[in-house]
Amino acid sequence: MTENMTSTSSPCAACKLLRRRCAKGCVFAPYFPADQPLKFASVHKVFGASNVNKLLQELPEHQRGDAVSSMVYEANARVRDPVYGCVGAISSLQQKVAELQAQLAIAQAEIVCLRMYQGSDLITFNTKMTSFSPPVAPSSPSR
Amino acid sequence: MTENMTSTSSPCAACKLLRRRCAKGCVFAPYFPADQPLKFASVHKVFGASNVNKLLQELPEHQRGDAVSSMVYEANARVRDPVYGCVGAISSLQQKVAELQAQLAIAQAEIVCLRMYQGSDLITFNTKMTSFSPPVAPSSPSR
């Protein structure tokens, strides 16, 4: 393996794993530093170095960092759960959203009921207050 | 290209795209039928045929259908959104969960307030009712 590197630092994690020369301007180097070998290992295992390379090349530089982060997230999810990957997380979150929407609907219905009850309570209160209005004072026997 | 196929049907979508013989027992054939060429095209573009093949081989047969579905979902998301892929959906769902949790907390706090108000309203009602208790009937002058 030729170690005639154009950069002065050690090869990036991608070039190290792929056993290739880490040339100046290597597309992987900014996102896969040598001290984080697992980061590249997982995207390489799941997407393949060639696909990651292609995807990064097709994106403008300012979007590559986010693309790498999302690919690393997806790859780690697929390594943990080879059947569902991060689609498992989507499914759990969709279920959570449905549960919360149901709980919120129940809570909002309870609020409506409580407000209606409070309204009818005030009506009852006013009705009872009227029926208990002070009786007319008996005419004074002295007059 | 040799067309000496062991199966009588046309090659599966994967073998057709990869221009290879679709042998009996092809790992792709049950999940990538010939009439759905885009299904394989997207997983091939994102994960690579070799990685898909490897992943399927490592799984028991009863889990392969789900694995293919989740990979197709992920691949389509990545084709639509090369920067965030399906991690974008996870992010949106997490935001939705946070919003719903906040709305639910507000609704539950309102329920507590309404119940407390209703309680204090009953106390006020009872207090007022007591102060308006019918006055003691005046002693009859005939007795």
Q: How much is the pLDDT for A130?
A: 61
A139 lies within 8 A of chain B by CB: no
* Cβ-contact B16, B49 below 8 angstroms: no
Binary contact (A87, B83; C-beta < 8 A): no
pLDDT of B143 reads 41
Place of tokens 């989740």: B70
Q: By the 8 A CB rule, do B29 and B22 touch?
A: yes
User: How sure is the predictor about B119, in pLDDT bands with cuts at 50, 70 and 90?
Assistant: confident
User: Where in chain A are the domains?
Assistant: 9-80, 90-129
Residue in A47, A82, A107 closest to B46 by CB: A47
The Cα B79–Cα B82 span in angstroms is 6
- What is the model's pLDDT at position B104? 98
pLDDT of residue A3: 38
Q: Which of A27-41, A86-100, A106-120, B12-26 has the lowest mean pLDDT?
A: A106-120
pLDDT tens profile B36-94: 999 999 999 999 999 999 999 999 999 999 999 999 999 999 999 999 999 999 999 99
ipTM of predicted complex = 0.74
Q: What is the pLDDT of residue B102?
A: 98
Most confident of A10-14, A90-94, A128-132, B113-117: A90-94
pLDDT reported for residue B48: 94
**With an 8 Å Cβ cutoff, are A74 and B85 in contact?**
yes
Contact predicate B125/B131, CB 8 Å: no
- Tell if the CB–CB gap between B93 and A94 is shorter than 8 Å: yes
> Cβ of A80 under 8 Å from any chain B Cβ?
no
Query: Looking at CA atoms only, how far is residue B20 from chain A in angstroms?
Result: 21
A99 touches chain B (CB under 8 A): no
| % of chain A residues with pLDDT over 90 | 72
pLDDT for position B129: 57
Q: Copy the structure tokens of residue B61.
A: 């047969």
pLDDT of residue A92: 96
Taking the CB of residue B87, how many other CB atoms lie within 10 A of it? 25
Q: Which of A47, A55, A86 sits opposite B82 (nearest CB)?
A: A55
Distance CA B139, CA B143 (A): 8
From chain B, the residues in CB contact with A106 under 8 A are none
Contact B74 A85 (CB under 8 A): yes
Q: Of all helices (H) and strands (E), which one includes residue A3?
A: none
Q: Distance between CA A31 and CA A16 in Å, rounded? A: 14
Q: Return the top range by mean pLDDT from A65-69, B115-119, B135-139.
A: A65-69
Burial A66-105 (b: 16+ CB within 10 A, else e): ebbebbbbbbbbbeeebbbbbbbbbeebeebbeebeebbe
A-interface mutation test, from B68, B78, B80, B87, most A Cβ less than 10 A away: B87
Could you give the 3-state DSSP secondary structure of residue A25? Answer: coil
Q: State pLDDT tens for residues B133-142.
A: 555 555 554 4
Going by pLDDT thresholds of 50, 70 and 90, the confidence category of residue B34 is very high
Chain A contact set for B83 (CB, 8 A): 59, 63, 66-67, 70
Find tokens 């309204």 and name the residue: A119
* Residue among A97, A115, A118 minimizing CB distance to B96: A97
